[in-house]
Chains A and B, each alone.
Chain A
Amino acid sequence: MKPLLFLTARTFVNGIRRAVTNPRRLIGLIMALAWLGRYIFFPFRGERVQDFSRANAGRATELISSMDAVRIMDALVFTFFAFITLFLALGSLNTRTSFRPADVDVLFPTPVEPKLVLVFRIFRDYLVTLLAPLFFIVVGYRPAAAGVTSLKRVLEDPSAISQTMRLASIAWFLVALSWVCINYAASLFMNRSDLASDRNKRIFGWSMATIIVSVFGFIYWQATQFDGWRDAVNLAESPVLRTIFFTATLAAWIVHGIVQGEALPTIAGLAGLLGIIVISIRIAMTQAGWMYDQAAVRGFDSINARKLQQSGDTIGLMVEQARRGKLKARRTRWIARINAPGGWALLWREAIIMLRSTLPVIILFSLMTMGLSLIPLFAERKGSAEVAGGLFILFQAFGAFIMSSAIAQAGFIEMLRRVDVQKPLPFSFSNQVLFEIMAKALLAIIISWVCSILMVVAKPALWQFALATMIAMPFLSVLLCGVTCLMTILFPDYDDPTQRGFRGLMNLVGIVASCSPGVVIFILLTAIHLSPIISALIVSLVNMGVIALVSMIAGNQYAQFNPSE
């Protein structure tokens, strides 16, 4: 155990030390602590909590007068544990053998027993799980406190509430441990490479999904027939829910038994939870010999995926999926047939990669933008055609903005990652950057054109605005992607969360600064009622100038970019 404690302690201390000695990381740490502090020390402000408290007091009085307080407390305890159980049970779907690559190379070949490593990990996860309700407490402390105050006002014995809360905290220690052990036992068993692990996981996953959907369906169906809080208490006593959320039931028995001075429910609850813990640990221990095997084969795949998700590296995520055989190469023969000489080859490559890797995102984005484009049609009923047309252009610009900040950013990170392959290509760096920017803007341009055509079909009277969109949007999209490209080159460390956050902020500042001339001119031209098509042409000329400037700066920065730094 000593080496594992040493490793955990030193990694933690060195991580903190590293964070405070690097100014960029320190800023991130301070911001994170400030955010956390704001929620801990000032969770909720204002009168809404007071209103909530008064409203609850009325409802609570009504409920207490018609029902036994013990049943209400029992229902509250069960609901709390059932809610948390749902989250904990979902954890059983995750692979619990997610080790770091360093564990595989350094720790696994040492004589430290896998069972010891397993116990250490269970203990570590248990401590983390114990802290989970802190999140709910931090966020929901004030409203919950208001509710408790209301209940205290109407209960005959207000001290029962405090006692229940204390006992629930103790029961939580057992519930958390039981789920950590269940999750380890299930994960280690299901991921064994000698068993039909994929089939087992599919069966388990679908069973869990069926249970969750059924539970929510059942609750929804019951809720539609509610006639007051009394029915909510009855629902919490339903044998169906009590069976499915068995750990919550056992925890509620412990609390209920002690508060009421009844030994049987308390003993049954304690014995039930302890039994689950012992059986789960026993199963997990018998599977411990397979833990290293699972970790080495697939364990840290999920860690890599999580890292990529955190860094917003969608392309990297797709590459990771492809590596694991979960991404099929879609046939793009019609694009493959196109001959794209010179820099256009970059656009050709981008189109293939985009279709292959981010098709679901493209479909989602297209549907979202098209949906937004429908809003002006409703606006036209109440306002003028100018308002509807203006809104259409605004939503298209918003779509292009989303596109540049989401998909384009990941694409530029990929561009920097492949700098060794791309820089030797026979184009100037400015041209490379310009084509890269155009490639990233391609999708937003196509979508805006499709939306404009749909708009003309749906509302022919707005054709001028649709045409203006078709003229202006390509330049705006390229400009937005250009700024994103420049910011990605200036702040290229995608592994550093602080730099990532700072890059996002600077990207926003850059977009505001570069788009301002065009936007101001467009507003002025609209104010003097100039044709939207003429306005679009003038704004596009202005944007073209800004694009040239941004591309030039980005090209210079790209030329100096060294991935080793």
Chain B
Amino acid sequence: MLEIRHLVKQYKNYRAVNDLSFTIKPGEIVGLLGPNGAGKTTALRCVAGILRPSEGNVLINGYDIVTDQAKAKAGLAFVPEVPSLYELLTVEEHLKFVAMCFNTMDVFEQKKEELLGRYNLLEKRNELVATLSKGMKQKLSVACALIHNANVILFDEPLIGVDPAGAHELKQEIRRTKDAGGSILISTHLLDTAENLCDRVIILNRGTKMVEGTLAELRQYSGMENSSLEDVFLKLTEEGHEAAAVSHS
């Protein structure tokens, strides 16, 4: 379970994330939408423990990401938009390194074979990461996120740069994780992906949450009953609505 309470990230005179609060329950997929520079990646990086929140709390399975970092991160996985990987490790070594960091070497061998097969990385297992294509690196990044049994998974633009087969497999994986009780947060520009995949969406604009809810709730809120998420999104971001009037109970 992921719980974010009044999260703020301040850079000198610029507030990248402003008083963001939401909860993702087990078995739920939430999409984080917003125009460029809305603060989606910063919010995700704060949740992942990469950036330190200026104010507020991020609780992962009840553990605070700042004060109880190791326990909080034990159940967390993060897939960045453009993964930067250790280029001088082989694919297999990379997976092993992540497994060692999460202290899950007991199930590593079995999990590794499963993931290498699922993401067509078997032939590349002994190749250096530096030699992989962009799409392959993205697949390896996803495999690294799944090597330990995380129940909170953060995806930053997960379908960018992945081929159709890979994208299909990734969507399946996300659904499998959801069915297994995982809490999933997806930051994306692809509105149709959010529409098809997410149970709820949160629209961020200039660091502030504008609206949160299911697609039906968003339509109702924007007064566009039969419109697509794209139309709703454009209307809401253009109008610059104030923070969440629609609450998810």
- Cβ-closest chain A residue relative to B76: A109
A237 at interface by CB-CB < 8 Å: no
Closest A residue to B130 by CB, please name it: A18
Q: How far is the CA of A111 from the CA of B104 in the complex (A)?
A: 11
- CB pair A292 B52 closer than 8 Å: yes
Chain B interface, DSSP helix/strand/loop, else mixed: mixed
**Docked complex: B114-164 residues within 8 A CB-CB of A:** 128, 130, 141, 144
CB distance from A202 to the nearest CB of B (A): 14
Which B60-101 residues sit within 8 Å CB-CB of chain A?
A: 66, 69-74, 76-78, 80, 83-90, 93-94, 96-98, 100-101
Contact A290 B97 (CB under 8 A): no
Partner among A11, A105, A290 whose Cβ is within 8 Å of the Cβ of B84 = A105
Bitwise interface map of A from 107 to 148 toward B, beta carbon under 8 Å scored 1, else 0: 111111110000000000000000000000000000000000
Query: Are A10's CB and B89's CB within 8 A?
Result: yes
Bound-complex Cα distance A321 to B226 (A) = 48
Chain B residues 162 to 204 lying within 8 A of chain A, measured CB to CB, are: none
Measured CA separation A110–B150 after assembly (Å): 11
Contact assessment for B51 and A105 in the assembled complex, using a CB-CB cutoff below 8 Å:
no
Chain A interface size, under 10 / 10 to 19 / 20 to 34 / 35 or more: 20 to 34
Q: Does B48 contact A (CB under 8 A)?
A: yes
Query: Does A3 sit within 8 A of B, measured CB to CB?
Result: yes
> Which one of B66, B77, B84 lies within 8 Å of A102 (CB-CB)?
B84
Check B45 for interface membership: any CB of A closer than 8 A: yes
B52, B54, B89: the one within 8 Å of A7 (CB): B89
Name the interface size band of chain B. Answer: 35 or more
Q: In the complex, what residue of chain A is closest to B45 when comparing beta carbons? A: A296
Indicate whether A493 reaches chain B with its CB closer than 8 angstroms: no
Contact residues in B for A111 (Cβ distance below 8 Å): 69-74, 101-103
Q: Are B78 and A109 in contact (CB under 8 A)?
A: yes
Task: Write the chain B residue with the least CB distance to A108.
Answer: B50
Whether, in the assembled complex, A513 has its beta carbon less than 8 Å from a beta carbon of chain B, the answer is no
Q: Are B50 and A104 in contact (CB under 8 A)?
A: yes
Known: A102-B87, A113-B70. A108 touches B52 (CB 8 A): no
Task: Kindly state whether residue A163 has any CB partner on chain B within 8 Å.
Answer: no
The residue of chain A having its C-beta at the shortest distance from the C-beta of B99 within the complex is A3
Residues of B within 8 A of A10 (CB): 88-90, 93, 97
Instruction: Select which of A2, A18, A113, A292 is within 8 A of B50 by beta carbon.
Output: A292
Nearest chain A CB to B115 CB, angstrom units? 15
Known: A6-B96, A6-B97, A14-B128. A293 touches B51 (CB 8 A): yes
Q: How far is the CA of A193 from the CA of B130 in the complex (A)?
A: 32
Does A15 lie at the interface of the complex (its beta carbon under 8 Å from any beta carbon of B)? yes
User: In the complex the two chains form, what is the Cα distance from A289 to B103 in whole Å?
Assistant: 21
Chain B residues with CB under 8 Å of A18's CB are: 88, 128, 130
Cα–Cα, bound, A189→B77 (Å): 29
- With A100-B84, A105-B85, A106-B86 given, is the CB distance from A296 to B50 under 8 Å? yes
The docked-state distance in angstroms from the alpha carbon of A122 to that of B101 is: 19
Q: Is the CB of B100 within 8 A of A109?
A: no
Q: How far is the CB of B59 from chain A (nearest CB, A)?
A: 15
Q: How far is the CA of A323 from the CA of B128 in the complex (A)?
A: 30
Neighbouring A residues of B87 by C-beta, 8 Å: 102
Nearest-Cβ distance from residue A288 to partner chain B, whole angstroms: 10
Picked from B49, B88, B144, the residue with its CB within 8 Å of the CB of A11 is B88
If A6-B96, A104-B50, A296-B51 touch, whether A109 touches B73 (CB-CB below 8 Å) is yes
Q: Is A156 an interface residue (CB 8 A)?
A: no
**Beta-carbon nearest neighbor of B103 in chain A:** A111
Asked if A565 is at the interface (CB within 8 A of a chain B CB), the reply is: no
Verify if A194 is at the interface (C-beta below 8 Å from B): yes
Residues from chain A with Cβ under 8 Å of B97 in the complex: 3, 6-7, 10, 106
- Evaluate contact between A110 and B141: CB separation under 8 angstroms: no
B48 in contact with A109 (CB, 8 Å) = yes
Q: Say yes or no: is A101 at the interface (Cβ < 8 Å to chain B).
A: yes
Binary contact readout A461-488 vs B (1 if CB under 8 angstroms, 0 otherwise): 0000000000000000000000000000
User: Is A297's beta carbon under 8 Å from chain B?
Assistant: yes
A512-556: which have CB < 8 Å to B? none
B73: chain A residues within 8 A (beta carbon): 109-111
Most A Cβ at <10 Å: residue of B50, B73, B76, B78: B50
Residues of A within 8 A of B98 (CB): 106, 110
A52 CB to closest chain B CB (Å) equals 44
CB-CB contacts below 8 Å: A76-103 with B? 100-102
In the complex, the answer to whether A114 meets B100 with C-beta atoms within 8 Å is no
State the B residues within 8 Å of A (CB). Answer: 10-12, 45, 48-52, 54, 66, 69-74, 76-78, 80, 83-90, 93-94, 96-98, 100-103, 128, 130, 141, 144
Given A10-B89, A15-B88, A111-B70, 4 more contacts at CB 8 Å? A11-B89, A100-B86, A102-B85, A292-B49
A interface residue numbers (CB < 8 A to B): 2-3, 6-7, 10-11, 14-15, 18, 100-102, 104-114, 193-194, 198, 289-290, 292-293, 296-297
23 A-B residue pairs with Cβ-Cβ distance under 8 Å, sorted by A, are A3-B100, A3-B101, A7-B86, A7-B97, A11-B88, A18-B128, A18-B130, A101-B84, A102-B85, A102-B87, A105-B78, A105-B85, A105-B141, A106-B83, A106-B85, A106-B98, A109-B77, A110-B102, A113-B70, A290-B52, A292-B50, A293-B50, A296-B51
